[in-house]
Structure 1
Amino acid sequence: MIVNGHIGRFTDEKAKVYRFSEVDFMSLPQASIATSTPWTARSKFEGPLLFDVLKHVGAMGSRLDLMALDDYSVSIPVSDLKAFGPILAHTRDGKRMTSRDFGPLFVMYPRDQFPVKLNTLPALSKFIWQVRRITVVE
């Protein structure tokens, strides 16, 4: 996965991007969310908080533009990170996700904890899977 935009740390200074290696990504503190989605039964999702991913790259912005492998994109306000604590899940029910089953990375919100706020079409559009890039916008 690549993070670019308004960030302060780079693995490629010339391209102004941070490319997460598996080791980098898995060394971040891990969290879990047990929830259901319109696409999955209630499951336990694991991965770092999106906040910690951004902290690792020195992100400074108010919005995240995420892009999936199939070019689906969505914007997430940084305020969601504090309000809901979404994670960038790599594991579902103890199994690493692949591109065939919502992976390798899936933005997961605690939908069951906030059903009124997170069970709307605008909120559900933020549950982006197959994440390949995050752009931090001012």
Structure 2
Amino acid sequence: MTTNYIDTFIAVAPDCRVVIAETPPTTAKPTVAALQFELIAEHPYEMTSDEVLFAVHATRNNVNDDDLDSERERFFAKDQACLRASPLGKRYGWGTHHDENGRVALVGIGTADYDRLLGDDHLTHKAAMRSSRA
């Protein structure tokens, strides 16, 4: 099972409270949001959703380099939440654009790029998952 999207724009959740995208705070133990933000912001259109999610898992669980292949198999043997469930789109105001190769970049709400992608008829449009039930 894959979490990758192709030619897709994932807008922020309908109940996201911010109108301008925010950088997730840094803490002594980095949060999932901070790690995802760092990876995608520093490497736009270089990684797929699967690669981002596994890299965050490996970092948070201190997976040794020698164990990466077997841990990746174990990780994806179970269904994984996609970036629609990420705090980036639910809480911090970051949409994600997934290109024709499934590579992802962040796009902040309140920017011209966000509005352009939101109106692009050539993309599949989804929204990040709500934080609360509607």
TM-score by length of 1: 0.29
Q: Larger Cα Rg: Structure 1 or Structure 2?
A: 2
Where relative contact order (Cα < 8 A, 6+ residues apart) is larger, the structure is 2
The structure with the greater share of residues assigned to helix is 2
